[in-house]
Every structure is written in structure tokens, then in C-alpha cells.
Structure 1
Amino acid sequence: MNVQKAEGKLPSIRDYYSATQLRADRWSALREAAEGLHRHGGDGRQGKKLRATAEALFEALEPIERYWAFPGAHAFDHLRRMLHNGNIEDLSSSVRRVARALTSGAYRRRTIPLGADDGDGDEFEEEAALSPEARALGRPYFEVLIVDEVNEHQERFLKQNLQRMRRAEDPFIYEAVVVPSLEDALIGILFNHNVQAVVVRPGLTLKSKNDLPILNQYLSRVADDEEMEALEPHAYGPEACRLIAKIRPELDAYLVTDRSAEDIAGLDLGRCRRVFYNQEDFLELHLNILRGVNRRYKTPFFTALKEYSRQPTGVFHAMPISRGKSISRSHWIQDMGAFYGPNIFLAETSATSGGLDSLLEPRGPIKEAQDMAARAFGSKHTFFATNGTSTCNKIVVQSVVRPGDIVLVDRDCHKSHHYGMVLAGANVVYMDSYPLHQYSMYGAVPIHEVKHQLLKLKAAGKLDRVRMVLLTNCTFDGLVYNVQRVMEECLAIKKDLIFLWDEAWFAFARFSPTYRQRTAMGVANTLRETLRTPEAAKAWEAQQKELEGADDETWLNTRLVPPPDARVRVYATQSTHKTLTSLRQGSMIHVNDQDFKGEVEQAFHEAYMTHTSTSPNYQIIASLDVGRRQVELEGFEFVQRQVESAMSIRRAIMTHPLLSKYFRVLTPGDMIPEEYRESGIESYFDQDHGWVDKWSVWNQDEFVLDPTRITLAVGGTGWDGDTFKTKILMDKYGIQINKTSRNTVLFMTNIGTTRSSVAYLIEVLVEIANDLDELLDDASRMEKRSFENRVSGLVEHVPPLPDFSRFHAAFRTDSETPEGDIRSAFFLAYDEDNCDYLPIDAALMKRLEGGEELVSSSFIIPYPPGFPILVPGQVISKEIMHFMQALDVSEIHGFRPDLGLRVFTQEALDALLKKNNGEG
């Protein structure tokens, strides 16, 4: 039979973004085919068609199933033989059990019988239907990948020996899956999210025998073909361990080898937990596997808090709510106790002893939890915060920036950074992102702009005052920097520059190999390794000779190489609660600074004390601890599903003929100008060619688009973004989103997004499009014209986004470079006599067009888009005023419509200028 022909009736491989999604859908399709065969029989036209479909599905699933312990290669072959032997009734029953077990997760809790005489395997509880208590009582399940080329008998021997080591007191339960080669090991850890440990044995080979396009995509991501081909057989095991650490650093690897200890000692084994020589001791291997997983499973503070809540305690300190006493004794607030349950109150305390710890001076379980978070996120130090990333940003800025230091700042960053500059007394150089005028949003700051500002400061002799570069990665709209390129090129100009990457919306990125290469901590660790190599020194020396005597234009247009003695000084702030599991306001600060201990640590702790409450919420700290556990054990799986959900939304909208009339998903080609897309990518999905493998794109492009953010252009509906969000999505359908622009709304998938949520969103959009169709069908000619005018106003007549103008001379040291003293301007406005209010009217525009300098005395932040278009001390341009007049947003922070725009009086500016010049 021509399998390709039969498979052509199924969705093509190119229709799937991931092999995981393909696997799930094909098991579902196989269940339907087997049940259809059971109903219709194997004969007749329908029966033959169903049999061909089932055979094609088995053919498609066969290479994929080799990487999973359930149902396992042996059981899969058994099912296939049922089809070939015509045992259709048993096949239907068994495939149904497998499909349901995969969907429900039942195989993680119990053995799933597949034979006809193995009892009733159809009646098992759904994973999601179990109570949290029932699920917590079960032992967590995972899989161990064994890499060794063995025959069926030897494979059974390996698995049985590990199974014999199981004990009732084991905290976890696992099954083994055996693959033959190094390439299969890499596919397995990228594909099978259940794998938590890899055992690499000496019998492994190099190449995979699988030749399925979707699996080949995995291989192309992880290793250079030429380097792999050059490996000697004795190096396969160590290389496997090294690559496993590179791809999924959270996994435990164990190497079984017959090489001498001396040979192994000098090799890079990645994060290999232990080396076993010759034949391993199966009990010792079993215990090490459990110990390794338990190392990640531990939650020091959450466990301590649970233990504390169980202690009989007399409360004679602050917090009447502690132990729930003020609630249980009340006649009027019993509903609060009923809503939250007892545990949250039993765990409430202001005590820092009794097994607990102090967030301000952690020495016990909080310190241990932070150290484990540092391991998980790849930092050298991690600090928990219980009042959001806004506070984290201020802590970092205050700890590393001194009054008068120059800081290069992404102008449309979060407002906490601007206030941080005020608190630190920084001289700010605002860098402009490229604008996306047609969507009323900014992109990101090109490396050319960053280098331009640094070189300008260097030419002015101010490079010694430049302290830090602050950028948002990724932006709210999903634009992600080439972090390594930015840091390398900036360090080539100033080798001790500090970087603060605001990764508020990017905490999940650590747990995907594709994303990790663009994270602050991932790149910091890469630079620590590469800068020390002889190759790095040679590359720098060669470039220095080429650039000798070169002008700034040449430097701007050259991909700069950092000096080998550059210092790696990187900070990242992350809103754990925004993209991972944590209670609201749970955030982390990650530090990877080679000079932290000697230069910053004391100042950092002072800043931390300044901004952190002496009464932090223990529930938030515990949730950060548990959130870290989750991502170390299942972050890879959850992030993969998150991306899959987003890609499904993209594909559904782009291929639906009705939706495309009113909506458009913005692609990388829409959101990133061509000069920043070296790969030439236009879209992640194309109807003619399917999915684009984004690995190569993320390797090279200056900016990439995070696929988990779906920006939907809604101007075609006649509603602006804010109206569409509030009146349509939220009020009518209960769909919640965060961000809008004048003509777009932003949908974000996260690790909690389900396929049901995706389906509901598509249903809602289709219903909205249908309603618009019906409305326009019945509309009069004037009503249609009105609709077309609204659409035109939203799509074609969009006000251009203004650039940052400049700081007034009163807040600058000279006119050579653009930095401004934002702190002086901020506090000058505290005196009402220094300020005046001007209505935004024709008279104001006439004054600006006449060349009069008017200076803002406050932050002006329209929402949306949510970034300041004016900061204290900034000269007001006519472009900014035109933009403000064209805005039709719900709120403008810092602006009072009843009074007008708050500006400095000319007298206040003149007095400050005289003071700065020593005249008064």
C-alpha cells in the first residue's frame, strides 16, 4: 500500500508545529479509525478505507513512539499486529484505552491494561477531575531515557533490572525508555517532556535511523553535522552528556563508561551527576536517579511553611489573622474563612523563627530556596521579591547607579525604570525604538542606536561616566533582542558596562532551548565561557588591527568583538507571577555580575532593604519556591505547550476565510523591519509551506518575535483596540487581555493555556465576524459608509508616533551629548510656584510652532500604549502635542484635563540655568 497516498488524506506533517501535537492528534485519529473498523468491519469500501487510514497512522506514529515509555515500543508493535491479524475488536478497545490514558494522564498513576482479558481498562478517572488532595497523595511519575544500542532481550533486561529496584517508600515512580544513538537521545529529550534523567551507556551509536521530517527539525537545532561526524566512538557518551546539558540543563545525566577515571576527569561532561564504571550497580543507579529528581523537587520554604502551619502555636505577636483566630471568632466575616479555607490563615505569621526565615536577612529555608532558584534560572545569585518587578527594577538601579552616572535607557520601557532613574539621580540618555506607526506601538532599540549613543559619549570624553544599558527583553508586544550581540558589541566599546534586562514577561524563556539563547542569564553564562577562550582573544586582536584609525561610521557598521578581559555584569528582573506559577507580585532578581561581590553586594543589600517590606507575604515567597520546582521538572513541557497553543491560534486565524475579512495576525514581517530580519522570515506559518523552523531565525536575526504573543489587528472591525477589549471581549464574552493599541489587541498564551481556551477564542472571533457580516448585510448605504470611515480612521489615518525630543538645557551639563538630569527636574516640580498649567488648544500649538520652548514638569503616560511620551525636564515638541491631540484613549497618567499640561515656568528654568552657570 502507498502509505504516503493514504497519509495524504490525513493532516500533513507540515500542518503541525510540534511532534507532540502531531502525536496527540494521531492517537485520537487512530482511535476513531479503530472504532470505525469495529463498527463497519474490515470489508467493503468503507472498511478498506478505514484500514488504510489506520495503517498510515501506525506508520506515522511508529518513529515517534520509540521515544516514549507509554505505551512503549513493545505494546505499540502488539497493537499494530492486531490490525494486521484482523483482531479489530481488541484493537478498538486497546487503542481507546491508550488514547484516553494519554489524554487524561492516567498512565502516570496506574498500569493501563491493553489486552482483552486484562480487566476493564476503560473506567479510570480523568486527571483533571481528581481533587488536589487526591493528586497530591499520588507519587509523581517521570521517565528515564537509557541510551544504548541493544537488542530486544537486552532492552528487557535493562528495564526489568531497574524495575526490581523499586521500593514502596520511593517518593517517585518512573519507567524507562531505551534509544540506540546519541542523535536519538537528543531527539528524545527535546520531544519527550516526561524525561527527567538520562543514562548514557557505552554501547550507544551516533546516528538515528529515524528519517521523519518533523524529527529531523529537532536534530538540526542541536548539533553541527560535521563536528558530530568527526567524533570517535569512545567520545559518544561524554558528548551526549555535554549536549544534554546544553539543550536541557535541568535534566540529570548519568554516564556509564569503561574508560579510565583519568580519561574521563578532563572531559566536559556537562551537568553529569555521576559516572559509573563498567557495569553499573542498578540499585545505586536507581537511588541516584531518585535523589537527582528529589534535588529539584525540594521546596525548602514551602515545606517549612507547611510544617509551621501544623504546629500548635500560641500567638502573642502582631497579625490577629494569624492562625485564623480573628476570623473564627467573628460573627461578621465568616464568609472570608469559608472562601479561603483554613490553611492560608494557619500559614500566616510575622515570625521569622520556628523553622521559618527572614526575607531581609535569609539564612535558612528562604536562602536555600533562592539558591535553588539561581540554579534553575542560570544565575549566580537570585533574590525573591514580594511586591512586583517594579520594585525589583528600582532595587537594581539604585544599587548599581550613583548620582551623575550616565545610563542608556529604552525610552518606552516600564515606568518603574523612569522612576528608578529619579531615585538614583542618573543622567539619562533616552534611546528611541523603531516605530510601528500603523499600529501605534514602538518596536525595540536597534543595536545601531545603542552603539551610536555610546560612541557619541566616548567622543565627548564621557565614557567613564557611562554605567549601564537598560533594555526590555522581551517587550510587551513580544519583540526579543539578540542579547548576545547587544552585550558583545557594547562591551567592545566599554568593557565594564553593566546591563539590566527587564525580563518581566520572559521568565518562562529559560526552559526552552530556542528561547534560552536570548535570555540575559543564558547569554551571561555563554560569555563567561567564550571570552576566556584563545579564539576570542585572537578574534579581538584581529579586529583591533582592522579598526585602527577607523571613524565612528565604520564602528557603527561593524559587528564588534568584545575584548577578552571584558567583565560580564548582567542583571535580569522577572515577573514570575506574569508567566510562571506564582501569586501576584511574586518576582525575582537574577544576578550574573563578576564584580557583584567586590563592588555591588553591599549597595545591593541596602537598596533591597530600602524597597522591601519588613512584613513580606510568606504565601508569595512559598509560591515562588513552588514555581521554581515546577519549571525545573515540567517547565520544558509547559512552555512547549504554550508555544503550541499560540501557533494554533495563529494558524486558525490566518487560514479562516471569514476571520481574515476583519482580523489580521501581525507577523514578524509586520512588526520587525526588513533590515533587522537577516533570515528574511516573513511569517511563522504559511498556508503553502506550513510552519517555519524558528531555531535558525532565533540564531541570527537582530530581533525576533515571541510566538506566544499574538497581536491581532482589529481596525477592520471598526472598533479601536480599547473598545474591542472592553466592550466586546471582556463584557460580552468574558475574555481577558492586557494590552491594546489604537487598532490592535494582544493575546498572550501562558503555561496555563489549554486547547479548550484556544478553541473558545476562535469560536468567539468567528461569532464576532459573523455578526459584523450580518450587520453590514442589513446596513443602509450611509451606515456602510460610516463603517468604512471608522475602519479607514483606524487603519489608514493613524497619528505618527513621536520620538523623544530632548532635555532642556537647564537639566543638561552641555549640548554635546543628550543625557539629562531627570532627578533635578522631578524634584523642581515639587514647588507649585515653579509650575504652570497650559490647556492643549490652538494657542498652545501656535506657541510651539513659533519656536517657544515649553518644558514638561511631570511624566505624561497615555494608556494605552503605556509608555511616557513626556518626562520631567523634556522639551515639548509639536509632534508630541499632535500625537496627544489625536489620542482617543481611556486615560492619560500625569495629565489633568481640567487644568491642562503641567509645565515649568520660564522663571524657574532661568533661575536654574543661572544656578548651574554659577551666577546665583
Structure 2
Amino acid sequence: MNLQLKKKFPSIRDYYSATQLRADRWSALREAAEGLSRHRADSRQGKKLMTTAEHLFEVLAPIERYWAFPGIHAFEHLRRLLQLGNTGDLSTAVRRIARALTSGAYRRRSIPLSSDEIDNEDYEDEASLAPEARALGRPYFEVLIVDDVSESQERFLRQNLLRMRRVEDPFIYEPVIVPSLEDALIGVLFNYNVQAVVVRPGLSLKSKIELPILSQYLTRVSEAEEVDAIEPHEYGPVSCRLIEKIRPELDAYLVTDRSAEEIAGLDLGRCRRVFYNQEDFQELHLNVLRGVDRRYKSPFFTALKEYSKQPTGVFHAMPISRGKSISRSHWIQDMGAFYGSNIFLAETSATSGGLDSLLEPRGPIKEAQDMAARAFGAKHTFFATNGTSTCNKIVVQSVVRPGDIVLVDRDCHKSHHYGMVLAGASVVYMDSYPLHEHSMYGAVPLREIKHTLLQLLAAGKLDRVRMVLLTNCTFDGIVYNVQRVMEECLAIKKDLIFLWDEAWFAFARFDPTYRQRTAMGVANTLRQTLRTPEAKAAWEAQQEALKDADEAKWLDTRLVPPPDARVRAYATQSTHKTLTSLRQGSMIHVNDQDFKGEVEQAFHEAYMTHTSTSPNYQIIASLDVGRRQVELEGFEFVQKQIESAMSIRRAISDNPLLQKYFRVLTAGDMIPEPFRESGVDAYYDPDHGWADTWHMWREDEFVLDPTRVTLAVGGTGWDGDTFKTKILMDKYGIQINKTSRNTVLFMTNIGTTRSSVAYLIEVLVEIANELDELLDDASKMERRSFDNRVSALIEHVPPLPDFSRFHDAFRAGAETPEGDIRTAFFLAYNEDYCDYIPADDALMQRLEAGEELVSTSFIIPYPPGFPILVPGQVISPEIMSFMRALDVSEIHGYREDLGLRVFTKEALQSVQK
């Protein structure tokens, strides 16, 4: 590429994904084609535009082979138009394609490319159409056919498959034909429109593509699979298995000339049907539609819609049912106008008429939950209509018995702490590694977890250890190596239960990079690998090597679980936080080999305890539809979500003005080097472009979720809470949740658009410009004041305190750290046992002198939002110093007018008797 083109177009290495590259190159091609139609070919500008267009066609050529629209044949036709100098027809066709790609119009109707055909329909963005208009159309998808065929054979396949389409078909699709197994893998990773794959016997192994941004998709598979070693007769079955590994939601169909006996013993992944050496296009067509319809069904949402259409007489609770109490009102008509009629027509407390009971589901709710379990890789899934806080308490209460020891991430969500109180657990709080500079915690190192388990083993208490509870990913985006944690913990206690709080991680199932660090994904992997002869041999060899080894040796060794270890994993997810659901819509996913025999009855009782007998049917319906969405387009939306976050990273890192006041925290900033075995410290570097992060996600102890962009704002002179409230929200209408003393957190989600990303960058640039102007006009004293504020936020940040310990009154011995949080919690109900002490210098002096003061309650400052004190915990000088240094708007559990609430000596003595 010549120098002028380099200046005009960002380098391919500047793009995080090929989908971003494709979108921008089509936009650029449209501009070039329109320019060519206005300039003579032999003019200086015409020659320049011709060179640009030729380059764009060269870049797009390998990309377009993986998409049905506009299709490689139409693309090559456009290329010939350019070569023939037919710039008028080229401009028309490229403009229509570019607009259809941007708006999504090609999903709804055929796009005429010839200038002889009139195309008067508006190219509205799909998202801007009224829901009623979009609901009338048939959903569109693409079918990937893998077969190395000639052009005439390809035409034969395409025409015969399209000939099967009928007006009454519920969906419409277009075929994409690629020649090789590697092209199939690139296709399912690159083309999010693909919903089904047909693997035919004529496929080859290797791809002929030479575009690095496409080749990188193969690295996701090549590290784990020896693709080059596959024999030709294995190409078809291996393709099906690898497709399931990459995108398990897809339907695969295998056309083969091998015998049924040979095929029956092979691992075909999620192959839904095998066709034996025949060209039965009608049967294939019907199977493809049936497979997609299987995911498209939403049984409870459908039942609720049907119920809303029924004429009924309401003689039960809920005056709002059918909207009667609103339609008859003279004073609340605005509520009916705002919400519309359907929401009230679907309101009922009845469980008849095709509906179901959430507490005892046997109909559409049960079916919807089973479909959610399939989608998320669980054995059982349960819906919740009052948030993940309740889900956490349900799981804890169902698996933990009074006196059981539970290892808990100390800065986890407060619902877990209250769950420990309700269950009567003996709690061992484990500290996450601190990020003092930014007043936030990371995650609990595996070495800390192993050390705690080995300490309990040495004390003879391992039999009482019931569960490990960890947050994955954390609010700030720290993601555990879930498989490594589970394997090494099971190596110490083989029936350990794991509760992974995935409140912010529900979307992770639908991206192959993320999936390997999810609870359900790892549980399914372990179920397969633990029973293999290789796993047994590895465990036996390690047991021999660790015979008579001390704790240090165990801590330094990557432990192997025994082959008879039990896989017992639970995940709680806030569907409403990261996927499509009404607020408080959450799910509990279960992958526990002992659930049926040991937990099911207790789970049912805990579910009954915490679930309302009047659940919101609209929330249940939204969970059902949200599941449908992610099974059909979760891969696409998560891909775009990640791309949006990466665009924010690059835009800020490449902008010198923004770098003066802001800095995106990298993995190197948020994860200490010992936990980053790959050595990768940033997703994007202005000097080197994008890092290859696949190895990092496979091996590192912790990784940073790229969809969370933590922005250091201390350089502006505003603390995180002020920047969030006074600047972003009040002035610019940008909403965020999480802040620390000197950072704010931007989270992209499946609803984030490129426009919203652009607006964010515009706002940050405007803020930076205003700060520049302010400082340019500042007096010497004003400048000093600004510098002092910045210094206080960046350099003088109070260190984060570790968990001190439970008071001896709430412990069963000094050799292990577990504490009876339930006894401490309820002891505080007696006001005579409690006292208040002002949080002043006198209190600090008493603590530094060694006096033991014990908290009666949870003390939770917002931000950072984690409990710095729990009931029964000894108050340390470090905790008190941190609390006094915080400049936050609220501290839950603390009354400023009275001070800290602590136990009296008499209270502690009453417990120790």
C-alpha cells in the first residue's frame, strides 16, 4: 500500500476484529465509488480514487467469502464493474450494499444491485423500526455449507437448497459455501449470522486465506486441537465436534458416505442429523428450519401472550389484572397511556389457562427453564424474579448446614454475607489482592485458597469444609481461571462445592474465549476429562511425587484432581445486568453430580423460603425471551460488545489530549505480574497495536474482562464519585454504576452501539478541552490547588485493609480462622450488649494501644461497596484508618451521629461462657 493510502486508512493491525474492518472498508468503498462516478478516470483525482477502490476490493475479497450478503459472486461482479470502468453502476450497487449492511435491511428483504432496478424503500436501521413492523418479518440467518466444490457444483447446491424455501417457512436463510475445515472454523467465528452448518464429504482441510486478521481466528482452535494431524476420513466428524466446541448453540448436519456403524461410534459434537450420501434437499431444508425453531421457541412468553388474548372474568386478587382498575379510574389514566394495554392484559395471579407456577413448575415455566439450562450448559436452571441477591441466599441455604465451613471471598456481594448468617456457616474470609493505588480489590489468589484448605486439613477440619464461594468476574472485571481453581481445590477435597457468583458474567457463555472461564463450561469439561485414563495416570503420578511433601511443596505444585472427584458447581447470574431481561430477572444454574441425591430437596425448600408466591410474570417472560435471544444472536451481540469496549480503549490511548487527564487501566495495572504468566499487560498498545490474548485467557491465573473499561480520572482533580455524578450524569447524561476513589468504570453491554461509544469519546474530549482552558487561565494559587487535588487522589490514597480476624468469642480454636458469623449477628439484637463509639482520634488511640473492639454489624462504604467489617470481627487500626480516610456519600451500617456499634465486654463474655 502506498503512503497516501496508509494515511487515509488505518492499518489492518489497528482493528481488533475483522467485522470492524469489514464495516469500515465497505463505508470507504462507498465513498470511493461515489467519487469515481463524479470524476474522469484519467484525471488525477480519478486515478487516486481508482487506486483506493482497488485496494479496498483486495482487502474485502477474502472477507466476503464468509458472508451470504452481498455474496462472493455479487462481490466479484462489482470488481468487474470497476475494471470495466462502469462507475455509475458500481456506485449504485456499492451504495446500496453499504447502506443495507449498516441498516440490516438485507435481513428483511432482497436488495437490488442493478441500477436498472428501482429501490425506493428506506434503509432504516433495524433498531429504529417499530417493534410491530419488525415482528411481521421473518427472522433471517445464514447456513454455512462446507464442501470443496467447483463453481458449477456450488451453483447446484445453492439453487437446490433455495428452491426448497416456502412462503409458509417461519424463517428465511441464505447459504454460504466454503471449501475447508479451517474455513468452516473461521466462518462460524467470524460470521455471526450463521445458525446452521452443513458438512459435506468433499471438504478439504486447509484454508487458502492470506489475511492475518482472519487467520487469527484459527489460533483459538489450533492451540487446543492438532488440526494438521486429522486424517481425511475424519474431516467431517471432526468439523462437527470443533464447531460445537466453538459455538455450541449451532446446529450441525453431516452428509457422509460412511456406514452407519462407523459413524455411530464417533464424537459428532452437536450434529443433529446425519444424511447418508444423498441429495435430499427438502429433508435438509426442513431439518435446518426445525433446528432453528427449537431455539426460537419461548414457551412461557408464548403462553403469556395467548393468555392475554383470552376473554376472562377476574374474580381473584390483583385489581390491575386486565387493566380494569386503570381503565375505570379517573385519576391514573396516564399510567395506562404510558405502559400500554398488553402489560396489564398479561397480569394475573392465576396459574391456569396455559400458565404455570414458578414454585411448582410443570408446564411452560418448566420447559423454559429446561431450555435455559441447555443454552447455558447447565444440568438444571431455575428462574428468579427478585434478583441474584436472592439466588445467592437460595444456593447457600440449600447446600450449607449449620457449622459447615465455607471459604468466602471477603469483598463479595453483601447477599453472600447475609446468606452465611442465615445458613449458620462457619466463615473463613479470604482476602483478594489489593490495588491500593485505585482503592479496589482484585480477586483471591489460588495460593491463598489452597493455603486455607491445607490449614484446615492440618487441623483435622477438612471434613467440615463444604463450599468455596468466589465472584467471577468481579465488578471491576477480574476473571478467575475457573478450571484451575476447581481442579486444584478438588485435589485437596474431592467433594468440594463451588458457588461462582456470575452476576456480571451471564454473557460469557456465548463467546468461546470467555466460555472457558465460566462455571458451567468448566463443570462440563471436568465431567469429561476426570474420567479419562490420562487423568487417572496424572493423578497417580502426582500422588507419588507429593508423598510426604510439606505445605510449601503443595502450594508450589499445580495440583491434579483425583479421578473420582465430584463435579459440584453452582452459578448465579443477573440476567438483567448483562443480557435481556426486566430488572431483577436472574437465574441459578446447577451442574452438581450430587444434586439429585443430596441437594434437591433442600434446594426446593430454600427456593420456597426466598421466592415470592406472587412472582412477576413479566420478569419470567423476559427471562424466557432473553434465553431465546442469546441462543440465536448472543454470539453476535457479545462480539459487538467486546468490539465497543476495545474501541474505547484504543480511542483514549491514541489521543494525546485525553492522555493528559485520563488513563485506561490495563491488565498490567489491575493484575500483578505473578498472576499473568503470559506476560501480556495490555489489550492495546499505541506502538504495537492489539495483543494476541488467546493464550492469556487459556493460561493466566487472572485475566481482565475487556468489556469493562476502568478509567483513572484522578488527573482531572475530581474523585470518582464526583466525576460520575456531577460531570458524567448531571452534565452529559452518561450513566455508570461503579467508582473508586480515583476511577470510574464504563461497562459495555449487548445494547451498546458505536454511536454511544463515539458520544463517550466526544464527552471526554470536551472535558479535557475545558480543563485545558481552565488551567490556561488559572492563577498560581488556583493551579497549586488543582495540583494538590490531583496529588491527593493519585499519590495519597489510603491503603486497603485486610480482614483482621474474628474475635475469639466467635471462634472454635485459634489454629484456624473460621468464625461463627450467625451468633455474632443475632447477639447484636440485644441492645444491652451493644455500645457506640465515635470514630475519632480517641478511638484510634484505643485501637493502637491494643484494645479489642468487636463490630456488631456489617459496615459497607459506597464506594467501594465491600464490607470492611462484619459481625464478630475485631476492628483493627488499619480498618479504622481506611474508614476515616474515605470521602464517600454513604456507609451502610454506620451512624455518623453515634459512631461505630460494638459489642460490650459483657456480650463477649456471655458467648464465651
Residue in structure 2 matched with residue 794 of structure 1 by the alignment: 793
Q: Does 1:527 align with 2:536?
A: no
Residue in structure 2 matched with residue 116 of structure 1 by the alignment: 115
Alpha carbons 2:164, 2:281 under 8 Å: kept? yes
Residue in structure 1 matched with residue 626 of structure 2 by the alignment: 627
Residue deviations 1:235-256, cap 9 Å, x none?
Answer: 1000000000000000000000
How far apart are the structure 1 equivalents of 2:862 and 2:472? 21
Change (3 A) 1:460 1:27: same
Alpha carbons 2:299, 2:368 under 8 Å: kept? yes
Cα offset, 1:846, TM superposition = 1.0
The letter for the 2-side match of 1:96 is R
Report matched runs for 1:500-899 at 5 Å. Answer: 500-899=499-898
Report matched runs for 1:382-531 at 5 Å. Answer: 382-531=381-530
Alpha carbons 1:488, 1:562 under 8 Å: kept? yes
How far apart are the structure 2 equivalents of 1:116 and 1:32? 17
Residue deviations 1:131-159, cap 9 Å, x none?
Answer: 11010000000000000001111111111
Cα offset, 1:911, TM superposition = 1.9
Cα offset, 1:8, TM superposition = 6.8
How far apart are the structure 2 equivalents of 1:341 and 1:224? 53
Report which stretch shifted further, 226-235 or 211-220.
226-235
Change (3 A) 1:387 1:600: same
How far apart are the structure 2 equivalents of 1:363 and 1:123? 46
Residue deviations 1:441-497, cap 9 Å, x none?
Answer: 000000000000000000000000000000000000000000000000000000000
How far apart are the structure 2 equivalents of 1:643 and 1:874? 41
Instruction: Give the TM-score normalised by structure 1.
Output: 0.99
Alpha carbons 1:503, 1:574 under 8 Å: kept? yes
Alpha carbons 1:3, 1:59 under 8 Å: kept? no
Cα offset, 1:42, TM superposition = 1.7
Give runs of ≥4 in structure 1 deviating > 3 Å. 2-9, 121-126
Report matched runs for 1:168-567 at 5 Å. Answer: 168-224=167-223, 227-567=226-566
Residue in structure 2 matched with residue 96 of structure 1 by the alignment: 95
Residue deviations 1:230-287, cap 9 Å, x none?
Answer: 2111110000000000000000000000000000000000010000000231000000
The letter for the 2-side match of 1:81 is R
Identity %: 84
Report which stretch shifted further, 680-689 or 218-227.
218-227
Change (3 A) 1:121 1:97: farther
Report which stretch shifted further, 46-55 or 792-801.
46-55
Residue deviations 1:193-240, cap 9 Å, x none?
Answer: 000000000000000000110111101111349822221111100000
How far apart are the structure 2 equivalents of 1:237 and 1:363? 39
How far apart are the structure 1 equivalents of 2:229 and 2:652? 45
Report which stretch shifted further, 219-228 or 833-842.
219-228
The letter for the 2-side match of 1:836 is D
How far apart are the structure 2 equivalents of 1:571 and 1:145? 35
Alpha carbons 1:7, 1:56 under 8 Å: kept? no
Alpha carbons 2:519, 2:571 under 8 Å: kept? yes
Cα offset, 1:125, TM superposition = 3.9
Alpha carbons 1:318, 1:350 under 8 Å: kept? yes
Residue deviations 1:75-116, cap 9 Å, x none?
Answer: 000000010110011101110000000001111111111112
Alpha carbons 2:99, 2:123 under 8 Å: kept? no
Alpha carbons 1:3, 1:56 under 8 Å: kept? no
Report which stretch shifted further, 336-345 or 48-57.
48-57
Residue deviations 1:722-774, cap 9 Å, x none?
Answer: 00000000000000000000000000000000000000000000000000000
How far apart are the structure 2 equivalents of 1:152 and 1:910? 88
How far apart are the structure 2 equivalents of 1:3 and 1:79? 23
DSSP-derived class of the 1:40 partner: coil
DSSP-derived class of the 2:861 partner: strand
Report which stretch shifted further, 389-398 or 681-690.
681-690
Report matched runs for 1:56-205 at 5 Å. Answer: 56-120=55-119, 123-205=122-204
Residue in structure 2 matched with residue 905 of structure 1 by the alignment: 904
Gaps of 5+ in 2: none
DSSP-derived class of the 1:710 partner: strand
The letter for the 2-side match of 1:391 is T
The letter for the 2-side match of 1:748 is M
The letter for the 2-side match of 1:311 is Q
How far apart are the structure 2 equivalents of 1:698 and 1:265? 34
How far apart are the structure 1 equivalents of 2:432 and 2:612? 35
The letter for the 2-side match of 1:600 is V
Cα offset, 1:46, TM superposition = 1.3
How far apart are the structure 2 equivalents of 1:427 and 1:128? 51
Report which stretch shifted further, 46-55 or 362-371.
46-55
Residue deviations 1:391-443, cap 9 Å, x none?
Answer: 00000000000000000000000000000000000000000000000000000
How far apart are the structure 2 equivalents of 1:227 and 1:114? 43
How far apart are the structure 1 equivalents of 2:121 and 2:827? 74
The letter for the 2-side match of 1:832 is E
Residue deviations 1:804-863, cap 9 Å, x none?
Answer: 000000000100000000000000000000000000111111111111000000000000
Cα offset, 1:129, TM superposition = 3.1
Residue deviations 1:541-575, cap 9 Å, x none?
Answer: 00001000000010001000000000000000000
Alpha carbons 1:710, 1:747 under 8 Å: kept? yes
How far apart are the structure 2 equivalents of 1:5 and 1:145? 38
Residue deviations 1:862-904, cap 9 Å, x none?
Answer: 0000000000000000000100110000100000000000000
Aligned residues: 913
DSSP-derived class of the 2:572 partner: strand
The letter for the 2-side match of 1:333 is I
Change (3 A) 1:785 1:124: closer
How far apart are the structure 2 equivalents of 1:144 and 1:89? 33
How far apart are the structure 2 equivalents of 1:650 and 1:734? 21
Cα offset, 1:127, TM superposition = 2.1
How far apart are the structure 1 equivalents of 2:262 and 2:2? 48
How far apart are the structure 1 equivalents of 2:403 and 2:485? 24
How far apart are the structure 1 equivalents of 2:885 and 2:787? 19
Cα offset, 1:40, TM superposition = 1.8
Instruction: Give the TM-score normalised by structure 2.
Output: 0.99
Alpha carbons 1:97, 1:121 under 8 Å: kept? no
Residue deviations 1:327-377, cap 9 Å, x none?
Answer: 000000000000000000000000011100000000000000000000000
Change (3 A) 1:764 1:725: same
Residue deviations 1:281-323, cap 9 Å, x none?
Answer: 1000000000000000000000000000000010000000000
